[in-house]
Amino acid sequence: VVRQASQLWDVVRSPEILPPMLFIVAWQATPNAGSAMFYYYTNALQFGPEFLGRSQLIGALASLGGIIMYNRVFAELPLRDYLLRVNLAAVVVGLLPLLLVTRANVALNIPDQTFVLGDDVIQTVAGELAHMPILVLAARLCPPGIEATLFALLMSVLNLASFVASFIGAWLTDYLHVTDKDFANLPLLVFICNLSGLLPLALLQLVPDTGAASGAAKDKAQLAAVGRPREDCAELASEPPNL
């Protein structure tokens, strides 16, 4: 147990894992307007359980699409450049709900349900693209015998960050007096939450400017003190977290 804990610590504190993980955790911890948007969907737009379930199904398919897109298109990009692009794109994409809550989508002749489904797909793909680098790096550096522990640790940290994001989002919702019946300040809430996604960029300089998936040989050499990499450890990267 002590040996496995030591191996786990060596992997987590490695310069290839820790800085990207800190950046992604900070990003994940930024507030979101998820609870307020849920009440807007159900109370203002009158979406029922059937549509919400359909939205979750489409989101799951979009999650798979995000993984495939990362592996085929973005895996070879320099890590720092990649995270910068994804962060900026996610902030822009996160502002799309403003069209819905201001009813601009109606002026554009886009039905509410069509807009929400499309937004769910875009948001889910962006979320997967954000998390994939840390999972791929962790899978590559994973020594034998602690695969499940490393994955559980990463998921626990990301879930803790999500809890912090929900807590801050709930505080902002209350501060702006957005309730299940009063959505007057919902556009401002959405704007503030998404603009806060730019704050983690202050940590981006800590991320090594190396290939997100192309530096396999270098990473394998760095495993000499930790353990031999296993191919089956790469399965970590196939189980993305939920956003």
Tokens 């069509």 locate to 114
Range of the domain at 192: 2-238
195: closest CA among 32, 24, 9?
A: 32
**Is the CA virtual torsion 219, 224, 227, 230 positive or negative?**
positive
Q: What is the pLDDT of residue 211?
A: 58
Q: Would you say 116 and 55 are in contact if contact means Cβ atoms under 8 Å apart?
A: yes
Query: pLDDT tens string for the chain (243 positions)?
Result: 677 778 778 878 887 778 888 888 898 899 999 899 999 999 999 999 999 999 999 999 999 999 999 989 888 888 888 889 989 998 999 899 999 999 999 999 999 999 999 999 998 998 888 888 877 777 776 777 777 787 888 888 889 999 999 999 999 999 999 999 999 999 999 999 999 999 999 988 888 776 554 454 344 444 444 444 444 444 434 444 444
Q: Strand runs (DSSP E) across 63-170, as ranges? A: none
Question: CATH no. for residue 138?
Answer: 1.20.1250
* Residue 243, domain member (yes or no): no
Number of domains in the chain: 1
* Residue 207, domain member (yes or no): yes
Q: What is the pLDDT of residue 208?
A: 74
